[in-house]
Amino acid sequence: MDCAGACRISCGLTDEVAQLFESRVVPLWQGVYDSLVARAEIRPKSRVLDLGTGTGEVALRAAKITGPKGSVVGSDMSKEMIRISEDKARRLGLTNVSFRQMNMEALDLPDDSFDRVVGNYSVCCCFDYRATLSETLRVLKHKGRLTYNHNGPGESLEFQLMLRLLEKYRSKRPSGKLRAIREANALQDRAWSQYRDPFATLNLMRTVGYEFPEATVTQRSVKYRSAQDYVNRLLKLSWKSEAEEMSERTLGELVREALSLLAPFSTNESELVIRDEMIFFTGCK
Ligand SMILES: C[S@@+](CC[C@H](N)C(=O)[O-])C[C@H]1O[C@@H](n2cnc3c(N)ncnc32)[C@H](O)[C@@H]1O
């Protein structure tokens, strides 16, 4: 499978879960959106590009800051994500933001046209990390700045346990469709795995031509109502295709074992807080 094929598969999957992403993930990520926007130092009148905008949270925040004399483009591969973003912008009455379906590895945008490029948990989804960083540099104006984030090298212990369970329970005889999805996911993981290490990313940023590249390692905490809520989200979003090829019985066993493994991590109120490493990268043109 080549990157273009893998990208199509990943885009189709995102279309399928876009509405669920908006209702179940976006409310949990509000703090992360705010902190990315603050770090990007967007100014009134700025021209901003949001890479992999999803349902537009960062682009909409940026549009409020730039005001009518500035403008924002939210770009995403997924038609459904774009549709939801446009709908939200319309409801907010924002006319200085537009959304375009576009691959961040080959931006259909002119050179030197943005003051800021931002991306919340999106650069880690591309299939060619280097191409993405080169493209963002190309579209930035002189002295413009890229600010984006994604996870660092370490996974939370809770997620590591869940990954082990997925390995144990996932279908040993996957359909052709699921085999292709696994292959696409593996390509995506391979594309960015080395850049979970901030030193590798900073080196790449320098090689591509960014000035003053910086990485800030922080901790992200996401609070779930309960361990059951966390497991349900995994099965409905990231692992939807895997869950669809498990029998009811296998799914039941997976959930039972997951809840017993996660029990020691829940608080008295049965909430589950997952903490992982998040890195913010910045670089200037
Ligand atoms: C984890 S979501 C994050 C969405 C949004 N930034 C947020 O934080 O709410 C990643 C997004 O990147 C998009 N994406 C993945 N690969 C892409 C690519 N090569 N070009 C453009 N968008 C891409 C996906 O469609 C998805 O909407």
pLDDT at 115 over 80: yes
What's the CA dihedral at 102, 74, 215, 64 to 10 degrees? 170
* Domains of the chain, first to last: 3-155+176-225+277-284 (3.40.50.150)
> For the chain, how are helix, strand and coil distributed in percent, rounded to 5?
55, 20, 25
Nearest atom (ligand 1) to Cα of 132: 19
Q: Can you list the alpha helix ranges (DSSP code H) found in the chain?
A: 3-20, 30-40, 57-66, 79-92, 129-139, 157-169, 176-193, 198-208, 227-236, 240-244, 248-262
Which strands, in side-by-side order, build the sheet including 97-101? 97-101, 71-76, 47-50, 114-120, 140-151, 272-284, 211-224
129 lines ligand 1 (CB under 6 A): no
* Ligand 1 center–CA 243 separation, angstroms: 22
pLDDT at 269 over 80: no
Partners of 279 in the β-ladder: 150, 217
Quick: pLDDT tens for 171-224. Answer: 999 999 999 999 999 999 999 999 999 999 999 999 999 999 999 999 999 999
* Ligand 1 center–CA 262 separation, angstroms: 29
pLDDT at 268: 72
* Ligand 1 center–CA 30 separation, angstroms: 16
pLDDT at 270: 84
Would you call 222 exposed, middle or buried from its count of C-beta atoms within 10 A (0-12, 13-18, 19+)? middle
Residue 183 amino acid letter: E
Q: To test ligand 1's pocket by mutation, which of 20, 76, 139 has the most ligand atoms within 8 angstroms of CB?
A: 76
pLDDT at 248 over 90: yes
* Ligand 1 center–CA 161 separation, angstroms: 25
77 lines ligand 1 (CB under 6 A): yes
End-to-end Cα distance, the chain: 34
CA distances from 42 to 27, 50, 72 (A): 23, 12, 11
CA distances from 283 to 3, 92, 138, 242 (A): 26, 31, 13, 37
- Give the chain's largest Cα–Cα span: 58
